[in-house]
Structure 1
Amino acid sequence: MVTSPLRPEGTAPPRLMIAAPMTGQGKTTIATGLMAALRAAGHTVSGHKVGPDYIDPGYHALGTGRPGRNLDPHLVGEERVAPLLLHGARGADIAVVEGVMGLHDGRIGTDGFASSAHVAALTATPVVLVVDVSRMSRSAGALVAGMVAYDPAVEVVGVILNKAGSARNVAEIARAMPIPVLGVVSRDEEIAAPSRHLGLVPAAERAESARAVERLGERVARDVDLDALVELARSAPALDARPWDPADEPGIAAADGPRPVIAVAGGRAFTFRYPETEELLTAAGCEVVAFDPLVDTALPSGTRGLYLGGGFPEVYAGRLAANRALLTELRDAVRSGVPTVAECAGMLYLAGSLDDRAMAGVLPAHARMTERLTLRYPVATAPGDTLLTRSGESATGHEFHRTRMSPGACAERPAWVVDGAPEGFASDTLHASYLHLHWAGRPRFAARLADAARATPPPAPASVPAPDLVSLKAEAVAEPVADPLRHHGDVEVGEGMLDLAVNVHPGRRPVWLDRALAESLREIDAYPDPAPARAAIARRHGRGVDEVLPTAGAAEAFTLIARLRSWRRPVVVHPQFTEPHAALEQAGHAVTSVLCPAENGFVLDPDAVPDDADLVVVGNPTNPTGALHPARDLRRLCRPGRLVVVDEAFMDAVPGEPESLVEERIEGLVVLRSLTKHWSIPGIRAGYLVGDSEAVRGLERASTPWSVSTPAIAAMIACTSEEAVPEAERRARELDGWRSHLEAGLREAGVGFVPSRAPFVLVRAGGGAHARLRAQGIAARRADTFPGLDPSWIRVAVRPPEITRRLTAALAGLVPDTAPSA
């Protein structure tokens, strides 16, 4: 007998398989709940899944606190199934294996190969059946009896009755059972996992997933005999196998020298990959670094190889397309020869477009969703030498998608031939196809990617164009800023420059406002009292004084919000004013960014905000995009336990203030306003917040005494008076007319822009436009410091037509790097 270094007499980790007579019986629910229940009871649990499934192991990981593992003879070969089980179960007290489909259902035409029964036999794992008895009585006993007797190599030791009805019917079923009933779970829709077009929604995409799995564990612990299950698991015999070790695989050896960085796509859009892939790459001497294409605007530093796995890019196509900075860097990296492996979703990400949304543009193909599900378990053959393969090599894999690529393969060098047809795209540095592979079954693929990464020189620094006519100051501003979240437009304006960078109304202040400010100076010998301002703001918006808090501009409000609580998952919707993001990070919070896609006009999709976000910050209209989000969408963000902060700093510049929430009483909603821009008083830090009285009280407790100055209090009173209302509307309509003139000029000049409702416009002027405008004495706000935007964008403040004409004339002489988008 071959003995394991862990157990001299053989390896016998306690283990059970949760299987079913057919799909849809509740295997995933019961298996995941069992893992969570055992963990809560003090066991170290290892979770496994029969078959190629990526989604169920994600839930297993939540239940166990360890990576979910797959056991699939088709993908890795029969000889590796037991070693992989032992590898995943290292250090665990018990292993729980979830089956696939019906117990004996395997690859079509193979008499049950790769079925749950096949894996149970290969690993000598006792089987517990989950049976949906919602429409059965004694017949359930006959069904189970058949499963028990069907294959002597498979030991079925117990049954859990799922979706059970009355106690009387349960008793009838239990009497008919030929094996012990280990649990009875009644129907509960609240513990069901949601489905999507490819099956269950991945755990990484369900913000409430952790709590849902915890509830599953509590339910299983209540309704299932855990002690009996543990005893049955301990009855599993020793295995004549050694745990799989990636370092023992042929060709896997860590070379001397620096460890090349392999960037692995992750996050919500790329959840499909097997943990053994990363373990093989690590054993081969690589440093595996994950990045999130929805959030990160650059590849990991020093990237010398790329692995883009599967997932649901079609669900997040808009947000992926909006992250142009990352797409551009990714395209340049792949085209420059950085070795890249892309499976399914990764291939779509490299395509020219996905559902008409621009992707990386590396592959000469376009993809879109279809009604037809492609589901197959093929053997693929390599038609030639590529990054991963050598001519004639074969690999077993699986495909599972509802998209179609057109064309489907590069005629010269496809990645595979599957069922006689070319599949995917390949070269010496690229391998992209729909086929998912389990690299534990083909470890040489990991070795080849590692070798190629070591042979790839570090990425060259980005080339810097010669200064030409750009002034030294312009050149300095065009360089990367040390703290992009703290970059503001006022630093871009130099002496003698035309100011289109700062969003302050260029007109004169009303006489009555100047008078109020001047008179306030007579009172600066006393501490400021914000109470009169609070009352004036409350009257202006029809709110109670307990629903209003004057602040030293919106900046103080963002700081107070960041300090209000120990936020579990604060979300900032981008692109938008970066101050709230910076304030949250300064307070020690890890911020989640939600990117609004450019192709949708940067308008928020409420469903893109994670369900577990307890703070959401969004601008309306948003700086710098000028997008005015519908109030109904913002209301959808509000829910118990969450604070929603709507920054309406520019709402007073929109005629009629449509979509404003400042006068709506909604639990957990706070609206911020600023007076500095519309009234031309940036030197007077005057703003306020209005909202949920409980939140306002908390923010007031967090505020610094006397933070609002006496002149700011005077400005608040004056700018919210009855006299101010018609003047505010007049200014808003004036800005509206100026913006219409600006947009018409941009259109005539052939320059792309985002239609705006704010006193600024986001312009797609092309790379280098910012510096070239500065060379002509025109200061615009660089936009690449806003998350989700790249250097091709600038933000232009609305100005009178005579100033606008000078800008559009300058822009007409610039050649954008990208096609304008109206």
Structure 2
Amino acid sequence: MVRVPRVVVAAPASGHGKTTVATGLMAALRRAGHIVSGHKIGPDYIDPGYHSLATGRPGRNLDPHLVGEDLVAPLFLHGAAGADIAVIEGVMGLYDGMIGTDGYASTAHTAALLSAPVILVVDVSHASRSIAAIVHGMASYDRGTRIAGVILNKAGSQRHSDEVIRALEPTGIPVIGVLGRDDGVTVPSRHLGLVPAQERDEAIAQVDRLAARIAERIDLTEILGIASAAPDLPATPWSPGTPTEDGPVIAVAGGRAFTFRYTETEELLRAHGCRSVTFDPLRDERLPTGTAGIYLGGGFPEVHAADLAANLPLRAHLRAAIAAGVPTVAECAGLLYLGREVDGHEMVGAFDTVARMTPRLTLGYRNAIAPQDTLLAPAGTRVTGHEFHRTVIDSGSSPAWLLDGRPDGIATANVHASYLHTHWAGHPDLARRFADTARSADPAPEPTSAPARRRTPEPDLHHHGDRDATEGLVDLAVNVSRRPRPAWLDDALRASLDDLARYPDPSDARSALADRHGRSVDEVLPTAGGAEAFTLIARARAWRKPVVVHPQFTEPEAALLAAGHRVTRVVLRCDDGFALDPGAVPEDADLVIVGNPTNPTSVLHPADTLLALTRPGRVVVVDEAFMDAVPGETESLTGQLVPGLVVLRSLTKTWAIPGLRAGYVVGDAVVLADFAAQQPPWSVSTPAGAAMIACASGDAVRETEVIAQEIAGDRKVLVDALTGLGIHVVSPATAPFVLAETPEGTRERLREKGFALRRGDTFPGLGDDWVRIAVRDAATTATLVEAWRTIL
């Protein structure tokens, strides 16, 4: 009999906040001085990464399908050894398990195997008294499951939570904590769920903030009491065996691209005398010295495909090691990495296979049979596992497994590569067979002359033209107009100061902008400039595959990355005149952001081309920050009522008010409602609202057209002058700036002459041989050209 205080964190369904609460509880209990063991029910690899950050111990998985019912408690006791308390995060809804099995491998099933009390996390954001019926139903559905407490998540107010608590009193189940709607710290997600902790530099700080909030809102003493009431477990802790690590080196892929593997895998390898050494395929340019076996687990090679492809030295060493007979196991991500390419990016090339992303998620438990003798198993061996991917690959004729009768993966004399994830604690012979083969194998040959890594400097997405336009220089780096602001705009701004004693209300501005574009008020959202709009977009939804079309303004990608998303870039080519081909955008993209006219290329995309990007289930964002500089706004989409289409507009550039932060979004009301839900109160200031009203008037629109014609004339002077100097200018140019291809060092030499131009290498898809030049009046252009002649 072994005593381990323990509690299971469950929910009625996915999305109620299990991971947030479970991770926060682990971190809060650790901060309170307890040794905490974190566990995850189910095959999930990502949540245990957050558990590890919270506890300082390896995250562990508990899954009856993967390891068998009899091994769940022993594995739990092994992982929880030396801990004061174990927190076990559930999977999906409390009673959701394998389809057609009456809940096998569900949270309730696993909690019963561990005799563990359950804390139910319930999202109460859309109900009050009805929550009591949900909790009562969950508690009475299976009397073998003991729900010992409830944590209310996303309560709207004290009054709201009090109503829920009163309704729960007759159930006899105590409420041991309430988290407000703005209290939870959420984790960004993408096409396979949450973004792994290893890929998020801010994850540690976020877990610390979450721990503090959980400690403030949840009764940790009550949690400890519930956990301590769990009975002793009549089981013996699982043991992989005594580690010796005096045998062969097993190179285990890690880093940001390979984050999926069970802790017990390496424990078993070490128990069989192997020395596991982690290497990072994104950074390391060779395998560890003495590598006699390679383990490539799961992860996201499709997200990091470009960087994996750039590491030519490691790819060459891996290919040579496998060709030399080094035994290699590859699961899912490893299978993709060993192929010829992933989404057009070159991989190791050990197999002549091509992988690509698809909209379809392949997910589920599997029963597998070895169709032949392989590196991991003799023919006929049966194992259990799971699949979890959105890619497809053209597998070879020698499969590694038959998954429910379906061929999967590739097996050769020394390689076992498959989509199937297996938990080796449940099938220890897999580890033994691999270790034995590695022990008798020759180490990988030392790399000889390897190709150099492709060094592609990553642009500074936070660079802005105002960094280039320092005092004393003629500013051709910032696109803000140098024309004097009109008197009517200054008058409106001054008048707005009388209302500063009241909180801002943008409703009048919203109505004015709606009238300006012939839209309803729910199809317009005022924002504090484009920067806020892109932040709202990034946070609005759990985007699976956001795409940014480059070269363009870098703020959209920066906002998506800050929100934890992984961005797919579609880079337009100079040889094509930076024209947009809708077919270049991945079909499964659910968010596409493109500029028009594009910053920095000044290219104006036809409206029909942009509309070809729209489709059901996709949001298309068109940044029209410079459309008001196009005479007639010929390709604007502000008047198009298309589901999923939204257009960003700016008042900053033409009216010279960047310090005011005034912009707005026009488009699909459903999408705008999601953006608005992320907007903090009063973000649009009273002066900004006044500017929106003034600039939406009929007189202002007419004056905008006059300014656009003047810009067109000044731009022609600039383009003709640069062309006369033999400078290649992207044309036709349509914005208040042009993009020019120049000899190396041109920007620096012009800076010495007193002119600031915008660096091209800060835009993805461009290098330091490009500069963006703001359109100014003819006299300014003449002085620029004269200075330019002196450096030719």
Q: Would you call these one fold, judging by a TM-score over 0.5?
A: yes
1:309 deviates by: 0.6
Cα distance change of structure 1 residues 223 and 325 upon mapping to structure 2, 3 Å threshold: same
The aligned runs of 1:228-239 (5 Å cut-off) are 228-239=222-233
Which residue matches 1:226?
220
The aligned runs of 1:784-799 (5 Å cut-off) are none
Aligned partners of 1:418, 1:730: CA distance in 2, in Å? 71
Gaps of 5+ in 2: 456-469, 477-549, 565-597, 602-741, 763-768, 770-782
Aligned partners of 1:609, 1:109: CA distance in 2, in Å? 39
The residue type paired with residue 445 of structure 1 is: L
1:609 deviates by: 12
Alpha-carbon contact 1:307-1:341 (below 8 Å) kept = yes
Aligned partners of 1:650, 1:38: CA distance in 2, in Å? 60
1:356 deviates by: 1.2
* 1:543-585 Cα deviation digits (max 9, x unpaired): 9xxxxxxxxxxxxxxxxxxxxxxxxxxxxxxxxxxxxxxxxxx
The residue type paired with residue 210 of structure 1 is: I
Which residue matches 2:292?
304
Aligned partners of 1:608, 1:462: CA distance in 2, in Å? 40
Alpha-carbon contact 2:313-2:451 (below 8 Å) kept = no
Alpha-carbon contact 2:139-2:146 (below 8 Å) kept = yes
Which residue matches 2:55?
64
Match 1:340 to one of 325, 328, 341: 328
Aligned length: 511
Cα distance change of structure 1 residues 335 and 665 upon mapping to structure 2, 3 Å threshold: closer
Aligned partners of 1:91, 1:456: CA distance in 2, in Å? 37
Question: Is residue 365 from structure 1 mapped to residue 350 from structure 2 by the alignment?
Answer: no
Question: Is residue 130 from structure 1 mapped to residue 103 from structure 2 by the alignment?
Answer: no
The residue type paired with residue 287 of structure 2 is: L
- Percent identity between the two aligned chains: 55
Which residue matches 1:695?
none
Cα distance change of structure 1 residues 285 and 33 upon mapping to structure 2, 3 Å threshold: same
Cα distance change of structure 1 residues 664 and 228 upon mapping to structure 2, 3 Å threshold: farther
Cα distance change of structure 1 residues 146 and 606 upon mapping to structure 2, 3 Å threshold: closer
1:168 deviates by: 2.5
* 1:673-706 Cα deviation digits (max 9, x unpaired): xxxxx9xxxxxxxxxxxxxxxxxxxxxxxxxxxx
The residue type paired with residue 270 of structure 2 is: T
1:169 deviates by: 2.8
Which residue matches 2:382?
394
Alpha-carbon contact 2:750-2:787 (below 8 Å) kept = no
* 1:97-122 Cα deviation digits (max 9, x unpaired): 00000111101111111000011000
Question: Is residue 405 from structure 1 mapped to residue 390 from structure 2 by the alignment?
Answer: no
1:463 deviates by: 5.8
Aligned partners of 2:67, 2:143: CA distance in 1, in Å? 25
Question: Is residue 293 from structure 1 mapped to residue 293 from structure 2 by the alignment?
Answer: no
Which residue matches 1:460?
445
Alpha-carbon contact 1:265-1:292 (below 8 Å) kept = yes
The aligned runs of 1:605-754 (5 Å cut-off) are 652-653=745-746, 663=756
Question: Is residue 41 from structure 1 mapped to residue 32 from structure 2 by the alignment?
Answer: yes
Relative to structure 2, which stretch is displaced further, 140-149 or 365-374? 140-149
1:663 deviates by: 4.7
Cα distance change of structure 1 residues 386 and 665 upon mapping to structure 2, 3 Å threshold: closer
Match 1:166 to one of 144, 148, 157: 157
Alpha-carbon contact 1:631-1:661 (below 8 Å) kept = no
1:76 deviates by: 0.8
Cα distance change of structure 1 residues 665 and 725 upon mapping to structure 2, 3 Å threshold: closer
Aligned partners of 1:119, 1:274: CA distance in 2, in Å? 18
Cα distance change of structure 1 residues 430 and 175 upon mapping to structure 2, 3 Å threshold: same
The residue type paired with residue 294 of structure 1 is: L
Cα distance change of structure 1 residues 175 and 631 upon mapping to structure 2, 3 Å threshold: same
Alpha-carbon contact 1:207-1:610 (below 8 Å) kept = no
Superposed CA RMSD in Å reads 3.9
Aligned partners of 2:784, 2:153: CA distance in 1, in Å? 67
Aligned partners of 1:729, 1:458: CA distance in 2, in Å? 62
Cα distance change of structure 1 residues 243 and 306 upon mapping to structure 2, 3 Å threshold: same
Alpha-carbon contact 1:415-1:431 (below 8 Å) kept = yes
The aligned runs of 1:194-233 (5 Å cut-off) are 194-233=188-227
Question: Is residue 245 from structure 1 mapped to residue 233 from structure 2 by the alignment?
Answer: no
The aligned runs of 1:421-440 (5 Å cut-off) are 421-440=406-425
Match 2:401 to one of 410, 413, 416: 416
Alpha-carbon contact 2:248-2:292 (below 8 Å) kept = yes
* 1:287-332 Cα deviation digits (max 9, x unpaired): 1111111111111122111100111111111111111111111111
SS at match of 2:373: coil
1:96 deviates by: 0.1
Cα distance change of structure 1 residues 607 and 242 upon mapping to structure 2, 3 Å threshold: farther
The residue type paired with residue 191 of structure 2 is: H
The residue type paired with residue 197 of structure 1 is: H
Aligned partners of 1:160, 1:220: CA distance in 2, in Å? 11
The residue type paired with residue 421 of structure 1 is: R
Match 2:134 to one of 131, 137, 143: 143
The residue type paired with residue 123 of structure 1 is: L
* 1:711-738 Cα deviation digits (max 9, x unpaired): xxxxxxxxxxxx999798666x5xxxxx
Cα distance change of structure 1 residues 650 and 124 upon mapping to structure 2, 3 Å threshold: farther
Aligned partners of 1:151, 1:607: CA distance in 2, in Å? 48
Question: Is residue 85 from structure 1 mapped to residue 73 from structure 2 by the alignment?
Answer: no
Which residue matches 2:12?
21
Aligned partners of 1:99, 1:632: CA distance in 2, in Å? 48
Which residue matches 1:185?
179
Cα distance change of structure 1 residues 332 and 196 upon mapping to structure 2, 3 Å threshold: same
Aligned partners of 2:755, 2:237: CA distance in 1, in Å? 62
Cα distance change of structure 1 residues 143 and 461 upon mapping to structure 2, 3 Å threshold: closer
Alpha-carbon contact 2:121-2:151 (below 8 Å) kept = yes
* 1:532-551 Cα deviation digits (max 9, x unpaired): xxxxx9856889xxxxxxxx
Alpha-carbon contact 1:205-1:268 (below 8 Å) kept = yes
Alpha-carbon contact 2:317-2:447 (below 8 Å) kept = no
Cα distance change of structure 1 residues 136 and 443 upon mapping to structure 2, 3 Å threshold: same
1:246 deviates by: 0.6
Aligned partners of 2:230, 2:562: CA distance in 1, in Å? 41
The residue type paired with residue 422 of structure 1 is: P
1:286 deviates by: 1.1
The residue type paired with residue 77 of structure 1 is: G
The aligned runs of 1:567-578 (5 Å cut-off) are none
SS at match of 2:39: strand
Which residue matches 1:591?
none
SS at match of 1:184: strand
Alpha-carbon contact 1:378-1:396 (below 8 Å) kept = yes
* 1:604-655 Cα deviation digits (max 9, x unpaired): 9976998699xxxxxxxxxxxxxxxx9979xxxxxxxxxxxxxxx9952469
Which residue matches 1:269?
257
1:134 deviates by: 1.2
Aligned partners of 1:156, 1:337: CA distance in 2, in Å? 54
1:154 deviates by: 1.6
Alpha-carbon contact 1:208-1:611 (below 8 Å) kept = no
| TM-score of the aligned structures, taking structure 2 as reference length | 0.59
SS at match of 2:241: helix
Question: Is residue 106 from structure 1 mapped to residue 97 from structure 2 by the alignment?
Answer: yes
SS at match of 1:70: strand
Which residue matches 1:443?
428
Cα distance change of structure 1 residues 33 and 129 upon mapping to structure 2, 3 Å threshold: same
Alpha-carbon contact 2:244-2:273 (below 8 Å) kept = yes
Alpha-carbon contact 2:472-2:754 (below 8 Å) kept = no
1:85 deviates by: 0.9
